[in-house]
Amino acid sequence: MYASEMTDEEVSETSELATVLVEKENECNFTLNATSEFQGLYCPGVFDGWVCWPDTEAGRSASHRCPGFIVGFDPERYAYRKCEENGEWFFHTVYNKTWSNYTTCVNLEELSFRQTIITVHLVGYSISLVALIVSLGILTYFKSLRCARITVHMNLFASFAANNLLWLLWYNLVVGDPDLVSANKIWCRVLHVVLYYFLLSNYSWMLCEGLYLHTVLVSAFISEVRLLRCMLLLGWGIPALTITLYAPIRHLSGDAVETSACWMNEGRYNIILQIPVCATVFLNVIFLFNILRVLLIKLRRGPHMHGAGSSGTSRTSLQALRATLLLVPLLGLNFLLTPFRPEENHPWERAYEVVSAVTASLQGLCVAILFCFCNGEVLAQMRRKWQIATFRTRANSCTVTTVSFVRTSGYPGGTEEKV
């Protein structure tokens, strides 16, 4: 990329890195100008562009901590540079230059595990995305299902589908490209912001699911049109407000770590995203307990309290109870376990990572199964559609068969003529 093609911020970040490297090179030259302690053959110290290698006795290897400013390098690990027996630094014939061994800066076992976790995410998000698209197609096709509750479900599906698609783009375009992460291009930061907008919308629409069921059960007389408008404002408005605060503050006030690497690194301003998530989970828990309380009260009243309409009321209460139990996986309660994440290198760390990857990536699939594929109304409509299609096929077959044998020649003793 030429300098004229780079943004002002990218040029600034590249200049900062160049300044750091120049300072390191000057420090290295100052150190190496001192008198060497070796009298025999040795490799003279050199700055290889990243690290300052000291004078090293022939036949030995120098070691140095890996540079922390290189994405993917572990600063706790060591790089090596070999001094040959003839007093020359090791020359790599493939690269046609003297070579420092930085391959040890990457924990290959950890890298392999991280790639496995990424694969789990990719597979899970792909499955969830397909299930959500099919669910949206089904709910859109059956017009008779249209009501406020189904509209809330469809918005929840849409938020999960968009979020899953963005995660797939993030893992394929950003995480898999270290050069892009180092360049910190504007579009990858924009992708980060949009990704977290739809992630927050998952929580806000989970809140809408709980709030809708709670409102319908507690308030018998309420305008569904007005309630749905409130749901739309809440479901898409809260994430928009949160992101509107988060993105400018992190961009303008974040330090070098927070504003680099496509904003992958955790920063001080992530609390802006965490507050609405925690509030959503907390409110949903309150709704859940109150819904259960109201349902228990209704069920305890029994048929004698409702007269002729007791069976319908009980059936409605039981349906609401089932809906409440289906709502539990959508409340985000599993994310309350995040603070209990094992520390680095803990024996349970990898198990936690795998479980977290599976539950996070397949949550959209769970939403589709619970609210569409296992929805009684949806299944009834699909059975009805299947029966109508099957009946039409059989009716057409019977009609053709009947017509083909009723036409005769019209004369006494005439034979039947097939059509």
pLDDT in tens, 195-217: 999 999 998 998 888 888 888 87
Between 7 and 387, name the one with better pLDDT.
387
If pLDDT is split at 50, 70 and 90, which confidence band does 168 have?
Answer: very high
Give pLDDT, residue 235.
93
Close Cβ partners of 50 (under 8 Å, ≥ 6 residues apart): 21, 67, 70, 100, 102
**Pairwise CA distance, residues 45 & 42, whole Å:** 9
If pLDDT is split at 50, 70 and 90, which confidence band does 125 have?
Answer: very high
> How open is the CA angle 245-248-7, to the nearest 5 degrees?
155
> Can you read off the two tokens belonging to residue 328?
């539990």
> Can you read off the two tokens belonging to residue 72?
């993917």
Tell me the pTM.
Answer: 0.72
Least confident window among 197-211, 241-255, 381-395? 381-395
Give pLDDT, residue 260.
83
If pLDDT is split at 50, 70 and 90, which confidence band does 326 have?
Answer: low
Between 112 and 326, name the one with better pLDDT.
112
Indicate where the chain has its CATH 1.20.1070.10 domain(s): 108-300+327-383
Give phi and psi for 61, each to the nearest 5.
-120, 140
The pLDDT mean for the chain works out to 79
> Can you read off the two tokens belonging to residue 111?
């890298």
Q: Does domain 15-101 have CATH number 4.10.1240.10?
A: yes
Task: Specify the 3-state DSSP secondary structure of 53.
Answer: strand
According to CATH, the superfamily of the domain at 108-300+327-383 is Rhodopsin 7-helix transmembrane proteins (1.20.1070.10)
**Taking the mean position of all CA atoms in its chain, how far away is CA 84?**
49
**Tokens 């009946």 sit on residue:** 391
Residue closest to 188 by CA, chosen among 9, 410, 4, 374 = 9
Indicate where the chain has its CATH 4.10.1240.10 domain(s): 15-101
If pLDDT is split at 50, 70 and 90, which confidence band does 22 have?
Answer: confident
